[in-house]
Amino acid sequence: MHKIDFVLPWVDGNDVQWQKKKNLYMQELTQKKENDHGMLRYRDTNTLKYVLRSIEQFCPWYNKIHLITEGHFPEWLDIEHPKINLITHEELYFDRSHLPTFNSSSIEMNLPNLKDVSEKFVYLNDDFIILNFLEPERFFRDDKPVDFLHHGWIPRNKIYQLLRDNSGWVKSLNNAIELINSIAVPKEIKNKKNIFFHPTYGAVNKLSNFFLLYLWQKYFFIHHWHHPQPYKLSLLKEVYQQFKVPMLNGSKNKFRKGNDLTQYLYRYYHLTKEKFYPYYHNDGTYANITSYDALEDIIEKLNHSSYNFVAVYDNYTEEESQQIVERLTDFLEKKFPNKASFEK
């Protein structure tokens, strides 16, 4: 079996020195949006330990876990353990003059520069938790990332941004789609039956893909999989060679900005270039923690479901912060009671 690593970025938002540095550079911002630079982006809901435990427990075939950080790391983590590799921003970035950064999108533009990482790897956030045992084939089949192409119904254009969401996140997705449209055309897909109309896709998704292929004839929105994402490192390098200039421009952004690009550029690329294994598993869910009561509902749902993944969104107020973190930690500790081999 080929080696498969797990790669994830992490920031310690409680690091005092990091906070001072961030506040210093924030003074340079001319247009501040809570959605793009607020502490929600860096708040620690105490999930990293359980994300790592979930990898070791449910994907015991993994090769290594690579943690991308500014240099800090959790005190409970044994960074000398052979299964753990700490990658600093200094080591990751193509151009170190872009540092320091407080922008995950900037970090992701440097992923093609990963070193000592397996060709096949799974990229995930520090709040993506695996809930059941998974075979390697859940992520890779026939030497390709397992993925799906569902095209959208609504363009995230200026009207959408005016009425719904004009955050840097939406703009970054549109930026990626624009780049993809410059090199990929739906009608040029050779295996149209599997790529656009795979049996695991729902009827609505097949219909939307039909419109993409025969009416729109270009991409304007691709549905996301906001859970652990399989990639091949060689493909990321290919994307970098194709879009080096806009990627490095995005890398310069210390905070989220209108010309950002995200890791979804890599996903769009392998989807639109037929470099993936089509299969829609639909085995993940989202935990949008807006309040303590919402968390209780989420825990009840997870206790009576068979999802393979959950993504934790910490959208609660600071007033309930301590109570929520304690309750979530209690749930996760019961779900993953055994320490991982790399915990002190």
| pLDDT tens digits, 182-210 | 999 999 999 999 999 999 999 999 999 99
Percent of residues in the chain assigned helix, strand, coil, to nearest 5: 45, 15, 40
DSSP 340: P
Instruction: Check: CB of residue 135 under 8 Å from CB of residue 60.
Output: no
- pLDDT, average across residues 306-323: 92
- pLDDT, average across residues 147-166: 79
In this prediction, residue 27 carries a pLDDT of 76
Q: Which two tokens stand for residue 175?
A: 């930026």
Q: Would you say residue 41 has pLDDT above 90? A: no
pLDDT band with cut points at 50, 70 and 90 for residue 38: very low
Q: Would you say residue 30 has pLDDT above 70? A: no
Neighbour-count burial for 4-28, b at 16+ CB within 10 Å, e otherwise: bbbbbbbbbeebeebeeebeeeeee
Give the start-to-end residue ranges of the domains of the chain: 4-335
Strand order in the sheet with 309-314: 128-130, 309-314, 284-289
- pLDDT, average across residues 278-289: 96
In this prediction, residue 270 carries a pLDDT of 98
Rounded-to-integer distance, Cα 216 and Cα 222, Å: 13
Nearest to 67 by CA among 127, 10, 130, 124: 10
Q: Would you say residue 39 has pLDDT above 60? A: no
DSSP 310: E
Q: Is the peptide bond before 278 cis (omega within 30 degrees of 0)?
A: no
Instruction: Check: CB of residue 227 under 8 Å from CB of residue 284.
Output: yes
pLDDT band with cut points at 50, 70 and 90 for residue 290: very high
In this prediction, residue 51 carries a pLDDT of 97
Query: Regarding predicted confidence, which is higher, 226 or 154?
Result: 226
Mean pLDDT score of the chain: 92
Q: Would you say residue 125 has pLDDT above 60? A: yes
Spell out the residues 6+ positions from residue 88 whose beta carbon is closer than 8 angstroms to its own. 68, 69, 70, 71
Task: Give SS3 for 89.
Answer: helix
Query: Regarding predicted confidence, which is higher, 318 or 30?
Result: 318
Q: What is the pLDDT of residues 206-264, one digit of tens each?
A: 999 999 999 999 999 999 989 999 999 999 999 999 999 999 999 999 999 999 999 99
**Second CATH level (architecture) for the domain 4-335:** Alpha-Beta Complex (3.90)
